[in-house]
Structure 1
Amino acid sequence: MALISCVSAASAEGDAKAGAQKIKTLQCISCHGRDGVSKLPEAPNLAGQGKDYLTIALTAYRSGARKNDMMSVMAGKLTDADIADLAAYYSAIEIHVTPPPKP
């Protein structure tokens, strides 16, 4: 129940264009890439993830409810607007999947 109330505070619509700028200054691209495709094996791909999922995850890292050495530090300084903008940006990236050829 507490997580839901935390999420609603950060669930503003968000601005994908502002998020595109923030990923540079907040250094998100170092691990998750400008295109949302991870540059490090231990960092998840964010491209195409749901906006609600990203908002919940970032809010949980910020509050300490979800733990990761790097993300706890990075998310600790995010505002609700930052979280909404980052979630809007990464969720807006379209993912195209091509199935492997049939044997």
Structure 2
Amino acid sequence: MNKLILAMAMLLPFVVSTANAAPAKAPLCAACHGAEGKAMIPGYPHLAGQNEQYLISSLKAYKDKQRNGGQAAIMQAQAAALSDAEIAELAAYFSKM
């Protein structure tokens, strides 16, 4: 029993680190919105800490070309390349920052 507890305790850091791992498409977002989700370019929104459902609905609106203005053309092209699963992964990741 003690060996099982010890083995589980040794795996905990790995589980925690992979749970917070960046999705594969996160570097695309970082180019404009910052590596930590905090944009360094004026006019670009911070993604870190945003509401997860808001991020999902925003990306889907860009993907469906229902959201315009500002950098819409750039965001529409970026969002068009994302699957619904990737959108959900990115939203979850940035909302937890």
Check whether TM > 0.5.
yes
- The residue aligned with 2:26 is 23
- The residue aligned with 1:44 is 45
User: Could you tell me which of 73, 93, 97 is aligned with 1:69?
Assistant: 73
- The residue aligned with 1:83 is 87
What displacement does 1:37 show? 0.3
Higher Rg of the two aligned structures: 2
- The residue aligned with 1:5 is none
Coordinate RMSD, CA, aligned: 1.5
| TM-score (norm. length: structure 2) | 0.72
Unmatched segments (≥5 aa) in structure 1: 1-14, 94-103
Partners of 1:75 and 1:28 in 2: how far apart? 10
- The residue aligned with 2:55 is 54
Percent of residue pairs bearing the same amino acid type: 41
Specify the code of the residue in structure 2 equivalent to 1:72.
Answer: Q
Distance 1:43 1:84, change over 3 A: same
Query: What's the secondary structure of 2:43's corresponding residue?
Result: coil
Unmatched segments (≥5 aa) in structure 2: 1-18
Specify the code of the residue in structure 1 equivalent to 2:78.
Answer: M
